[in-house]
């Protein structure tokens, strides 16, 4: 039976739809958005609700995502081997560099943040675990594209969004950048996604040398850069953390 189960794919589409829209959605909105009969959409929603994946506001009757997703997402993190091994190294890196540390993996057309260490100071920061970052304008994303053909393939051919004036939007430029990244072994992104923010990333490999994720530090361009280039000492810290995590992942084998 090499075909996806229709009702399941539709349920997934509904959940993604609910995740995308900021506000709650009504039954009819869901049905028309996905081109389903109202009865069909209702059946799926009712089941999802029963399972806790979707909740219904009893007042308006509109639907939103449910708590079970949060619980399962947490379980995903619990089992995540890369994340587990990287926890302590990421902590050390944040302390050594004095900057925010992200750990990301390829997911669909972006980088999913699976771990986030706050910059070690007292400013209020929001946890970004579970959020996505673009592939073509972040150090994490560029590292993954440089080493993982699948990641590069996710860019497609469409025009790339320019978040700032420094964002690379031409596929040719991206490929040249990737070649450079492979050559020197690390990636940077200076104000390519957010004004004023620069990041430095390096690859994490598993025991068979497959790319499985990336670490990066991210911080104000004034601190991370010097004379328009990222500080070599920070690059060294990031690469050493990435090597340490990769070694840790391979430990089971040797």
Phi-psi region of 85 (alpha: psi -120 to 50; beta: other; left: phi over 0): alpha
Among 35, 37, 108, 172, binds its own copies (CB under 8 A): 108
* Residue 112 interacting entry, from DNA, its own copies, none, C-beta within 5 to 8 Å by type: its own copies
Among 12, 16, 21, 26, binds DNA (CB under 7 A): 26
Judged by CB under 8 A, the stretch of 101-109, 142-150, 230-238, 244-252 that binds its own copies is: 101-109
Helix/strand/coil for 114: strand
Q: Does 5 bind DNA (CB under 7 A)?
A: yes
Give the helix ranges, DSSP H, for the chain: 6-20, 27-33, 38-51, 67-79, 81-97, 139-147, 149-154, 171-184, 221-224, 232-250
Among 26, 38, 61, 67, binds its own copies (CB under 8 A): 67
Q: Does 209 bind its own copies (CB under 8 A)?
A: no
Helix/strand/coil for 50: helix
Judged by CB under 8 A, the stretch of 43-51, 178-186, 195-203, 244-252 that binds its own copies is: 43-51
Judged by CB under 7 A, the stretch of 38-46, 92-100, 115-123, 132-140 that binds DNA is: 38-46
- CA 196, CA 233: separation in Å to the nearest integer? 20
Q: How far is the CB of 31 from DNA (least distance, A)?
A: 7
Residue 76 · residue 93 · CB < 8 Å: no
Cβ nearer to its own copies, comparing 224 with 249: 249
Can you tell me which residue has the tokens 């869901």?
30
- CA 31, CA 82: separation in Å to the nearest integer? 39
Q: How far is the CB of 219 from DNA (least distance, A)?
A: 42
Among 47, 125, 169, 233, binds its own copies (CB under 8 A): 47
Q: Does 36 bind DNA (CB under 7 A)?
A: yes
Residue 145 · residue 178 · CB < 8 Å: yes
């Amino acid at each position: 039976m090499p075909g996806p189960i229709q009702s399941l794919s539709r349920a997934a589409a509904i959940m993604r739809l609910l995740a995308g829209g900021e506000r709650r959605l009504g039954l009819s909105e869901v049905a028309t958005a996905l081109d389903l009969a109202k009865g069909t959409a209702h059946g799926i929603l009712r089941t999802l609700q029963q399972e806790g994946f979707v909740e219904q506001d009893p007042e308006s009757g509109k639907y939103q995502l449910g708590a079970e997703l949060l619980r399962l997402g947490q379980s995903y993190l619990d089992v995540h081997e890369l994340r587990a091994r990287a926890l302590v190294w990421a902590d050390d890196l944040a302390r050594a560099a004095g900057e925010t540390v992200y750990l990301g993996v390829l997911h669909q057309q972006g980088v999913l943040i699976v771990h986030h260490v706050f910059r070690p100071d007292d400013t209020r920061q929001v946890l970004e675990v579970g959020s996505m970052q673009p592939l073509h304008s972040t150090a994490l994303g560029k590292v993954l594209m440089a080493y993982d053909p699948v990641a590069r393939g996710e860019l497609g051919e469409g025009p790339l969004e320019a978040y700032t004036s420094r964002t690379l939007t031409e596929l040719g430029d991206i490929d040249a950048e990737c070649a450079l990244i492979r050559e020197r072994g690390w990636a940077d992104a200076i104000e390519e996604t957010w004004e004023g923010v620069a990041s430095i990333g390096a690859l994490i490999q598993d025991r068979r040398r497959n790319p499985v994720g990336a670490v990066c530090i991210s911080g104000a361009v004034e601190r991370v850069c010097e004379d328009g280039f990222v500080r070599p000492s920070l690059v060294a810290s990031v690469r050493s953390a990435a090597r340490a995590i990769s070694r840790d992942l391979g430990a089971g084998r040797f």
